[in-house]
Structure formats: structure tokens, C-alpha cells
Amino acid sequence: MRGVRDLLELETQKIQQILGTFQLITRKAGYHQITLPSLEESSLYTKSLGDYSDIVTKEMFYIQNKSYVLRPEGTAGAIRSYLMNCLLGEKKLWSYCGSMFRHEKPQNQRYREFYQYGIESISNSFTPASDAEVIILAADILTHLNVPSVLHINTLGDEQARKDYNVLLGEYFQGKTLSKLSENRKQAQKFLRILDSKEEEDQQAISSAPSIIDCLGQREKDYFDEVKIILEKFKIPFLHNPRLVRGLDYYSNVCFEFINTKALIGGGRYDNLAGMVGKEKNMGGIGWAAGIDRICELVQLNEKQKIVGIVPVGSNCVEQCMHVARKIRMESEFIVKMKTEGNSVKQHLGYLKNYEPTFIIFIGEEEINSGCLKLKICATAEHVFVPIKEVFDHPAVTLSKFLLN
């Protein structure tokens, strides 16, 4: 099927490690992970992302007479869950991860099922510092993963500013020839959504479109300036991109994207979202979602896991080897590789070679009789004899003694 992939063991392992970094750093910042369903009612997205957003017009996977969809993003679901499960006004710092589904034209780094890790800071009070903190957290994670990117930020102002901007864009796009999709948006007077277009034929008109700056009230301008000042103080480089509009109706005020050729993380404030999903006008928040598939392609993992290989010398020592393997797995950080099928020592070693083990332990009848196993330190090819009881009783301490610095 186009746009969906099998992620085999190496890729899955990398994704898990990347997710581990996201989880660790966001947990330290006070976020708690929640699990949201992959199926939602389609009305959740038509109400909040907007009828003329790319996602609603052409990318949702509908099921059962269009009543339900496979979730295309996480924020609307998080707010739905907040409104259903939390006391209104209660501040929540949530994270989530999982598959998202969009029926996009499959191409490089754009999939129909892809993986996001996101955070939402849901609260009815906010300050430039709380917004900056959420952006800094994303920047810190990318730095930690050693993924270069450029932070683009903009403000979408309040509802009035967006209305005024829509009028301004309407005047600008009048008389311009646009793609079919953008012409539909023009007809429906959703001029702001034209700025989301990825169609080649719209790009020239979009690049010279007026910016929202002139429609902003003084309060929004000051707020945005304050966020930028904090980012500067924290030495987070950014680019003010006045045409960044983030594609969905629910965004307001500050919005941002971390870009490395394509967007890696995108987010912003959503002060109207609870009002769109329910009727709670006074509940807002800010969050971001990271595209794990794209980040995965840019991450080099150099952290090498320590592996112990075990070789049963003779088929009647397999169970003894299994006991030792089990103990090491349970009581140390080492990964243990061992084949239980009885093969020759040569074949066991051939199997282990692929894993580049730190140590190889040999256990045969001789070793069992003497009470000492043979341990090969692979980096130096040195062999040492170690009491089986020591490895069995204190695997972590005993094996660590032979690690080279």
C-alpha cells in the first residue's frame, strides 16, 4: 500500500530510542503521557481544523459513512479528552505519541501513516514566558538529538486580527490565478488557508502576499515581541517568518516550526480550540508535535549497547547457559545473545559476530566441572576464567570489571 511502511528492527529500535529521549526530557519538564484513541468522530476535526484545511478537504481517512476518522493529528483529541475528563480550569501538561493518518500524496518523507510525539500545555492563563518555555523544550530536544534545524516563528494574533488579515489577503488574491484548490478557498473566502497551499502554481503569489503584522493589535505585537526577547535571552536562534500560518483554523497567537528542509516539529497556541470542540471559550493552550519519521532520518545514534554472547560448548550445556543468560538479562544492563539450537562452536560464533559483542562466554562440560567459565574480552581477544558462581550471583559487577575504559 502506498504511503505506509513496515519498520523493521533497526528502524524500530532507533524510533524507540528517539521516543525515549522525547519522553525523558518532557517528563523532566513536568509532562505526563496520556494515550488517546486512534479513532475519533470526524466532526471533531471539521469543527476545529476547519472545513478548508488541507487535512479536512483531502487528507482524512473516513470510516463508517464518514462518521469516524483515523486521527490525523493529536491536539484536537487531547482537548476533547480534556473537556471530557478534567475539571475545567485545571492546568494539564500532557504528552502523547503514536500513529497519525493523512491521505497525502506519498513522496519523500511524507507518509500516510506516520508517527508523532507531541506535548500540550493546557491552561486558562498564559504568558510569553510559558509560550517560550514550550518552544525552548522542543529546541532542547533537537539539540540533545543533535538534529540541526531552523526555528521559524510567527504570530496569528487574535480572532479580530485574523479576520482583518483575511480581508487584506482577499484583496491581494483577487485577480491572481491560483490552483484549483486555492480557487475553491478563494470562492469560500478562506484566503488565509491559501497560504497553506503546497501547489507549485500558488507559490509565487504566496511569496509576495501581505503579512499579518499590520493587522495585529498592540497587545498581540507586544506579546509576540516578549516571546522573541525571551528566546533571544535563552540563545535560541529563530527566524520571524510572517507567512507561517500552520494550516489549521484552531491556531491563534504564537505559532512555530522547526525546519530542516521539511518541517520536523510544528506547533502554536490554540486559544479557541476548546470553544470549537466544546463550548469552553476560556480554555486555551500551546503545544507542538514532532514528526518522528523525519527526525529518525536525521539522527545518528552512537550509543552502543553492550552485548554478551554466550556459546554452549556441546548441546548438553544449553540449559546451564540459559540459566546464566537469564541471570545476566535480569540483573545487569547487558543484552545477551545466545542460540539455543545445538550447533558447533564455530556456528555459534558466526551468529554472534553480527552483533559485535563486548564479551563472549563459553560454557561446556569442562567449565561446569571446574566451576569457572571462559570469558573472551572481544576488544583484546584476551581470555579469562571467571567463577560461574560470581557471574551468576553478581552479573553486573562481575562483568563490569572486564570493561575497558
Interface with ligand AMP (CB under 6 A): 73, 102, 104, 109-111, 114, 116, 263-266, 289, 291, 293-294
- Nearest distance, CB of residue 268 and ligand AMP, angstroms: 9
Cell numbers that stand for 326 in this block: 537469564
Residue 280: CB minimum distance to ligand AMP, A: 22
* Cβ-Cβ contacts under 8 Å for 68 (sequence gap 6 or more): 39, 40, 41, 42, 62
Find cell 554478551 and name the residue. 308
Q: Which is nearer to ligand AMP, 269 or 294 (CB)?
A: 294
Compare residues 116 and 272 and give the one whose CB is closer to ligand AMP.
Answer: 116
Name the minimum Å distance from CB 188 to ligand AMP.
21
Burial class, 243, CB count within 10 angstroms (exposed 0-12 / middle 13-18 / buried 19+): middle
Contacts of 21 (CB under 8 A, 6+ apart): 141, 144, 145
Distance from the Cα of residue 163 to its chain's centroid: 32
C-beta of 296 vs 317, nearer to ligand AMP: 296
CA 155/CA 254 separation, integer angstroms: 4
Helix (H, G, I), strand (E, B) or coil at 196: coil
Smallest gap from residue 279 Cβ to ligand AMP (A): 25
Q: CB of 114: closest distance to ligand AMP in angstroms? A: 4
For residue 386, the cross-strand partners are 373
CA angle, corner 229, sides to 223 and 230, nearest 5?
A: 95
Task: Using the minimum distance from each CB to ligand AMP, give the nearer residue, 272 or 398.
Answer: 272
Q: Would you call 124 helix, strand, or coil by DSSP?
A: coil
Q: Which is nearer to ligand AMP, 223 or 251 (CB)?
A: 251
User: In sequence order, what E strands does 173-314 have?
Assistant: 238-240, 252-260, 262-269, 284-291, 307-313
What's the rounded Cα separation, in Å, for the pair 51 and 47? 7
Exposed, middle or buried: residue 161 (CB in 10 Å: 0-12, 13-18, 19+)?
buried
Nearer to ligand AMP, 142 or 325 (CB): 142
Closest CA relative to residue 386, chosen from 344, 312, 324, 340: 324
Angle at 288 between CA 284 and CA 290, to 5 degrees: 160
User: Of 69 and 168, which has the nearer Cβ to ligand AMP?
Assistant: 69
Nearest partner of 251 among 276, 269, 232, 278, judged by Cα:
269
Q: Smallest gap, in angstroms, from Cβ of residue 84 to ligand AMP? A: 22
Q: State the residue number with the nearest CB to ligand AMP.
A: 291
Neighbours of 322 (CB within 10 A): 15
Give whichever of 76 and 336 is closer to ligand AMP, judged by the CB atom: 76
Smallest separation, CB 49 to ligand AMP (Å): 10
The least CB distance from residue 196 to ligand AMP, in Å, is 10
Q: Is 151 helix (H, G, I), strand (E, B) or coil?
A: strand
Measured from the CB atom, is 21 or 124 closer to ligand AMP? 21
Q: How far is the CB of 101 from ligand AMP (least distance, A)?
A: 9
